[in-house]
Amino acid sequence: MNGRYRNSQTWLYILALIGVLVAIYFVYQLLTAGLQAYLALIAGVMLLIGNFPDLVRSLQQRRIDHSMLNTLIGLGLVAYFIGSIVFAPLFWSLSILMLIAALPLTLNRASVAKAYVNAGRTLFMQARHLFSRYRERTM
């Protein structure tokens, strides 16, 4: 029994060491993210906080306007900051996709943006239906 307790305690120390190393790496990445990334984070958070009431109102009225544009740009800036810390290809591509999605709103083409939203909703529903059918077959 003493050997088993000692073995589990060794694994606990190893896991604690790995956790500390991951935490140190994360803090290091935060400290070395760069000034541009922090400025992008600040601007993105300011856009998100400033447009939140208008965004809620426009979502309740089911219309797409400038609050959605500012929200997409803010989310893109926050995604850029997260990408500068962890897994850059994923978050930077998300940032670019959000900025591309905001482009029709910049050009006052809300109908194009609405078509994007409807296409995304359709794709999501089709994927959900496909996965539910696949899960039914495997069970």
- Over residues 53-104, the pLDDT tens digits come to 888 888 788 777 777 888 888 989 899 888 888 888 888 888 888 888 888 7
Distances (CA, A) of 70 to 13, 32, 36, 77: 47, 27, 19, 11
pTM of the model: 0.58
Determine the Cα–Cα distance for residues 122 and 132; give it in Å rounded to an integer. Answer: 15
What does the pLDDT average to over 1-24?
80
Cβ neighbourhood burial of 114 (10 Å; 0-12, 13-18, 19+): middle
Determine the Cα–Cα distance for residues 9 and 121; give it in Å rounded to an integer. Answer: 49
Helix (H, G, I), strand (E, B) or coil at 109: coil
Q: Whole-number mean pLDDT of the chain?
A: 81
Cβ neighbourhood burial of 94 (10 Å; 0-12, 13-18, 19+): middle
Label residues 37-55 b or e (16+ Cβ within 10 Å = b).
Answer: beebbebbeebbeebeeeb
Give the residue numbers spanning the domain of 19: 1-32
2 and 44: one domain? Answer: no
24 and 42: one domain? Answer: no
66 and 129: one domain? Answer: yes
Query: Does residue 127 register a pLDDT over 90?
Result: no
71 closest CA partner among 39, 49, 42, 104: 49
What does the pLDDT average to over 5-27?
85
Domain count for the chain: 2
- What pLDDT, on the 0 to 100 scale, is given for residue 97? 87
Query: Does residue 110 register a pLDDT over 70?
Result: no
Q: How many CB atoms lie within 10 A of CB 28?
A: 11
86 and 26: one domain? Answer: no
Cβ atoms of 117 and 64 closer than 8 Å: yes
70 and 99: one domain? Answer: yes
